Amino acid sequence: MSQRKTEATTLEAWWFATGNIANNLIFMLITMFLMFYFTNVMGLDPVVAGTIFMVARLVDALTDPIMGMIIDRTNSKRFGKYRGFIHFGAPLLGVVVVALFTLPNLDMTGRIIYAYVVYIIYSLCWTVVQVPQLTIPIIMSNDIAKRTKFQAIFQGVGSIGAAFTSALAMKIIGGAQNMMDPAAWRRVAIIFAIIATVGFEISTLAVRNLDVYDPNAKEKAEAARRKAEAEKIPLKERMAFLTKNVALFALLISFGTDMFANQINSQTNTYFFMYNMNGNTNLMSTLSALSLPVSIAMIFLAGPLVKTFSKKNVIVACEIVGIAASLVIWLTKAKNIPIFMGASACSTIAFAICNLMCRTALLDVSSWTKWKTGVEASGLMASTFTFMNKLMQAIASFAGGVLLKMIAFDASLPMQSTETMDKLLTMRVLLPIIAYVCTLIAMRFYPIDKAGEQQLQAALNNME
């Protein structure tokens, strides 16, 4: 039995973050390319493909709380509370990813059933690995400032995986001319699965002395149960935290609409570069690489940026940049590649910063609620935040499939009509702009501005 350390070192935080490279390799592979694979290689109707994404995401959203409860009840003598799920789940996730990019020798009905079953299994495997991975930072330190620092490292290092996904995939495939080859996509899936599995396994070693067996777990659980029973909050009162909490409601809308915009862009990127950009899929890799330095820099700049401007103002600025960049792309019709790449890079960077601000703002909202009501409801808020993430991705995936059908996209054609390509451009510009405007409206009602953050900090200091 290992002796539990009380806190991770900064080196261990960087080490553990290698798991987020693996995380993003798989996530971005699915987000960027699976819709294209379903429609252009497997031959599924775009609406059917979008529905598969939506159904699986909704299943995924509902299984997250269940996985959380399973983890809470786990106390392995060999793998502690979290590591076992990643250790055994990562190889299984890899196998399922390969199955997703394997073309079955079935008729169209069989392929649809196959896609539904395998993608839902993938979503469940993803939950088994991701939920414990995202929960482990809680045990890495009891200091809130250090937790924030460790989380910034986790997200910053993970951006490396996101940045190199398209470049690595295109290198393995061998260019746009091979993007309809099922064998090429299977090679991509196999290599990504191997790299991700190794990355996940390596990351667990970083916390092997933190995530250990707790011989007093049963006694602690019983004490926590008795405390929770004594402080039990009626369901009606808990729901009031959601329906009457302006800060949470505004943040949920901001985060959700931003995720919707990002999902639309990511899902249509492959189609856009394949058809509108004349097969210049290498530009996808360049675009991803442009945002990497900023993502790494945010590890060190997030704190000073928030201290100077507040999270609310940073989010508002990011949305304005996103709108401006989208309008530039639309007005120039993406004909000028340097302008298009510059505007797209600005939009991508703005999303990355805004996403980080929204995730850290959730901590403020939880503290704000406790300050205003005296009730700790952070778990309820966190689960609502996660559900919104999955819900908006589900809606965006379905909407993307429906819109591809509406613009008369035909996967059997080597090149789409000019009208279809123009509509594809409008679709990937107009929908995100609408989402960004919704975020700006929501932020108008978000109460925790710079002065609010200062008041909140003072209140937290008084609570200690």
SS3 assignment, position 179: coil
CA distances (Å), 404 to each of 77, 235, 373, 451, in order? 51, 42, 47, 45
The single residue listed with the structure tokens 């309008």 is 327
List domains and CATH numbers for the chain: 1-214 (1.20.1250.20), 224-464 (1.20.1250.20)
For 107-115, which contacts have Cβ atoms below 8 Å and span 24 or more sequence positions?
108/43, 108/44, 111/42, 111/43, 111/44, 112/44, 112/48, 112/52, 115/38, 115/42, 115/44, 115/49, 115/52
What single DSSP character describes residue 233? Answer: P
**For all residues of the chain together, what is the average pLDDT?**
85
pLDDT above 70 (res 52)? yes
Please give the Cα distance from 426 to 429 (Å, whole number): 5
For the chain, the C-alpha Rg in angstroms (whole number) is 22
* For residues 39-64, average pLDDT: 88
Residues in Cβ contact with 263 at an 8 Å cutoff, skipping those fewer than 6 apart: 31, 392, 393, 396, 397, 400
Please give the Cα distance from 208 to 5 (Å, whole number): 9
pLDDT above 80 (res 235)? no
- pLDDT, residue 364, reads 81
Please give the torsion angle defined by the CA atoms of residues 225, 228, 233 and 234, in that order, rounded to the nearest 10 degrees: 20
* Structure token digits, residue 258: 């931003």
Please give the Cα distance from 95 to 115 (Å, whole number): 15
126-135, 369-378, 428-437 — most confident range: 428-437
Chain segment 367-408, per-residue pLDDT in tens: 787 777 766 566 566 667 777 877 888 899 899 999 999 999
* Structure token digits, residue 215: 């011989």
User: Whole-model pTM?
Assistant: 0.83
Please give the Cα distance from 329 to 336 (Å, whole number): 9
- pLDDT, residue 291, reads 74
Greater confidence (46 vs 135) lies with: 46
* For residues 227-249, average pLDDT: 63
- pLDDT, residue 118, reads 96
pLDDT above 60 (res 231)? no
pLDDT above 90 (res 69)? no
Percentage of residues of the chain with pLDDT beyond 70 = 88
- pLDDT, residue 430, reads 93
Least confident of 73-77, 314-318, 433-437: 73-77
Greater confidence (61 vs 116) lies with: 116
- pLDDT, residue 182, reads 96
Chain segment 85-99, per-residue pLDDT in tens: 999 999 999 999 999
Contact 201, 126 (CB under 8 A): no
Please give the Cα distance from 266 to 397 (Å, whole number): 10
- pLDDT, residue 254, reads 94
* For residues 108-122, average pLDDT: 95
- pLDDT, residue 1, reads 47
The single residue listed with the structure tokens 């490279």 is 21
66-75, 303-312, 385-394 — most confident range: 303-312
What single DSSP character describes residue 177? Answer: G
Please give the Cα distance from 8 to 202 (Å, whole number): 16
Percentage of residues of the chain with pLDDT beyond 90 = 43
State the CB neighbour count (10 A cutoff) for residue 298.
Answer: 20
Chain segment 155-187, per-residue pLDDT in tens: 888 888 888 888 899 889 988 889 999 999 999
Distance of CA 327 to the CA centre of its chain: 25
DSSP state letters, 303-339: HHHHHHH-HHHHHHHHHHHHHHHHHHHHHHTT-SHHH
Greater confidence (220 vs 54) lies with: 54
Contact 158, 24 (CB under 8 A): yes
SS3 assignment, position 76: strand
pLDDT above 90 (res 56)? no
Least confident of 216-230, 235-249, 318-332: 216-230
